[in-house]
């Protein structure tokens, strides 16, 4: 297959490209505008493959998108390009509206026109895979609220109640994709994932930021008491699931992808500090750097995904436990500080 991936220089997009180039015979067209969170070095090895091409294109530029489709004629679109950091969405919501809503609209329209002109056989095989987040569902009851709260999980039919400008913009993009599927017949599939972590994540998110702050002897900031719960998914497990969806998933379906690791933020940070103490030659007690600050506005307290559908229908389960994934992540960052220094210097966090 020829797979067009938007946002392929970003965190999840680059992991998906690495998986496809290294584990399949498919070709990749990486479409990325290389904003602060996108780095071509994330797929440096894979870019040497004759099955990889890169096009620096902003999905908000409809005419340029059309040229990419006309030139490469993809069989599948995997739409990962998005602004994704909640804190940034609170301070700069317009970027999220433009990329996540207008950009998705442009991509849908270009994909629809392209798909309509395909010959019947190619038209039947075409897929539009929209990759989204569990944050569109809002938050769930917290275990501190009731004994049964932990049994309540996000399913594919959970109603949308986004809390932040980021999650609202992603909810909007989900609705657009489903509307284009129902109204125009575009063969679309939607996936909603839990919190990803792993190598090559831009250091504004909790895990890489904690690692870098710790080794730089800077404060490790925790919102509130740190009891917010997230379901943590190792990015390579997610990439494997995404490829499975485009090869075996059914058109019109939604699949939730979770890591089966519900953990409080404070416990994530403590686990990182312990792993750093193990791997770092300084053997410091990094927990002394933890500092609690005022909570973020509208902060969701708990996310948790029910992944039974993708397990039963497509046979996917995560391979990494949180412990194994955290150790791999900490080890990678400690051995790739030059990458960290490069992306931090090139951008204002």
Query: Would you state the pLDDT for residue 108?
Result: 98
pLDDT in tens, the chain (349 residues): 999 999 999 999 999 999 999 999 999 999 999 988 888 999 999 999 999 999 999 999 999 999 999 999 999 999 999 998 898 899 999 999 999 999 999 999 999 999 999 999 999 999 999 999 999 999 999 998 888 888 899 999 999 999 999 999 999 999 999 999 999 999 999 999 999 999 999 998 999 999 999 999 999 999 999 999 999 999 999 999 999 999 999 999 999 999 999 999 999 999 999 999 988 777 789 999 999 999 999 899 999 999 999 999 999 999 999 999 999 999 999 999 999 988 887 765 4
Catalytic residue check, 286: no
- Sign (positive or negative) of CA dihedral 175, 180, 181, 183: positive
User: Which residues are CB-contacts of 96 (< 8 A; sequence separation ≥ 6)?
Assistant: 83, 88, 89, 165, 166, 169
Question: Could you confirm whether domain 2-202+234-260+298-321 is CATH 2.40.160.20?
Answer: no
Query: Would you state the pLDDT for residue 231?
Result: 97
Query: Would you state the pLDDT for residue 279?
Result: 87
Residue 252 in contact with residue 189, Cβ under 8 Å? yes
Distances (CA, A) of 164 to 23, 28, 87, 92: 36, 32, 9, 12
User: Of the residues 32, 58, 135, 300, which is catalytic?
Assistant: 135
The span from the first CA to the last CA of the chain, in angstroms, equals 37
Catalytic residue check, 139: no
User: Of the residues 32, 46, 83, 134, which is catalytic?
Assistant: 134
Query: Would you state the pLDDT for residue 348?
Result: 53
Three-state SS annotation for the chain: CEEEEECCCCHHHHHHHHHHHHHCCCEEEEEECCCCCCCHHHHCCHHHCCCEEEEECCCCCHHHHHHHHHHHCCCEEEECCCCCCHHHHHHCHHHHHHHHHHHHHHHHHHHHHHHHCCCHHHHHHCEEEEEEEHHHHCCCCCCCCCCCHHHCCECCCCCCCCCCHHHHHHHHHHHHHHHHHHHHCCCEEEEEECEEECCCCCCCCHHHHHHHHHHCCCCEEEECCCCCEEEEEEHHHHHHHHHHHHHHCCCCCEEEECCCCEEEHHHHHHHHHHHHHHHCCCCCCHHHHEEEECCCCCCCCECCECCHHHHHHHCCCCCCCHHHHHHHHHHHHHCCHHHHHHHHHHCCC
Q: How far is residue 217's CA from residue 215's CA, in Å, rounded to a whole number?
A: 5
Query: Would you state the pLDDT for residue 162?
Result: 96
User: Of the residues 19, 166, 286, 333, which is catalytic?
Assistant: 166
Q: How far is residue 192's CA from residue 199's CA, in Å, rounded to a whole number?
A: 20
Catalytic residue check, 135: yes
Query: Would you state the pLDDT for residue 314?
Result: 98
Every domain of the chain and the residues it spans: 2-202+234-260+298-321
195 exposure class (CB count in 10 Å sphere: 0-12, 13-18, 19+)? buried
Among 250, 236, 216, 226, CA closest to 302: 226
User: Which residues are CB-contacts of 229 (< 8 A; sequence separation ≥ 6)?
Assistant: 142, 143, 262, 263, 264, 265, 301, 302, 303, 304
Residue 15 in contact with residue 239, Cβ under 8 Å? yes
Read off the pTM: 0.95
């Amino acid at each position: 297959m020829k797979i067009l991936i938007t946002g392929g220089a970003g965190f999840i997009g680059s992991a998906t490209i690495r998986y496809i180039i290294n584990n399949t015979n498919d070709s990749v067209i990486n479409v990325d505008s290389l904003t602060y969170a996108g780095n071509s070095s994330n797929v440096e090895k894979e870019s040497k493959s004759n099955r990889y091409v890169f096009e620096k294109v902003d999905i908000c530029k409809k005419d340029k998108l059309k040229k990419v489709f006309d030139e490469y004629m993809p069989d599948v679109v995997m739409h990962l390009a998005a602004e994704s950091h909640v804190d940034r969405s609170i301070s700069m919501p317009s970027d999220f509206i433009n990329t996540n809503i207008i950009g998705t609209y442009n991509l849908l329209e270009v994909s629809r026109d392209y798909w309509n002109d395909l010959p019947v056989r190619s038209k039947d095989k075409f897929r539009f895979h929209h990759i989204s987040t569990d944050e569109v569902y809002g938050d769930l009851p917290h275990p501190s609220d009731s004994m049964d709260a932990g049994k309540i999980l996000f399913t594919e039919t959970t109603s949308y109640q986004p809390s932040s400008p980021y999650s609202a913009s992603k909810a909007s993009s989900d609705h657009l994709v489903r509307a284009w599927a129902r109204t125009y017949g575009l063969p679309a599939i939607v996936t909603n994932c839990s919190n990803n972590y792993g190598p090559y994540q831009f250091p504004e998110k909790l895990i890489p930021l904690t690692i870098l702050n710790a080794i730089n002897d800077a404060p490790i900031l925790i919102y509130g008491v740190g009891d917010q719960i997230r379901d943590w998914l190792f990015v390579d497990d997610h990439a494997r699931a995404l490829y499975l969806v485009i090869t075996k998933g059914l058109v019109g379906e939604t699949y939730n992808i979770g890591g089966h690791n519900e953990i409080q933020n404070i416990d994530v940070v403590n686990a990182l500090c312990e792993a750093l103490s193990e791997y770092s030659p300084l053997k410091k007690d990094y927990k002394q750097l933890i500092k609690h600050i005022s909570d973020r506005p509208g902060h969701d307290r708990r996310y948790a995904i029910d992944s039974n559908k993708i397990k039963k229908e497509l046979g996917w389960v995560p391979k990494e436990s949180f412990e194994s994934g955290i150790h791999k992540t900490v080890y990678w960052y400690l051995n790739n500080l030059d990458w960290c220094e490069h992306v931090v210097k090139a951008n204002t966090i």
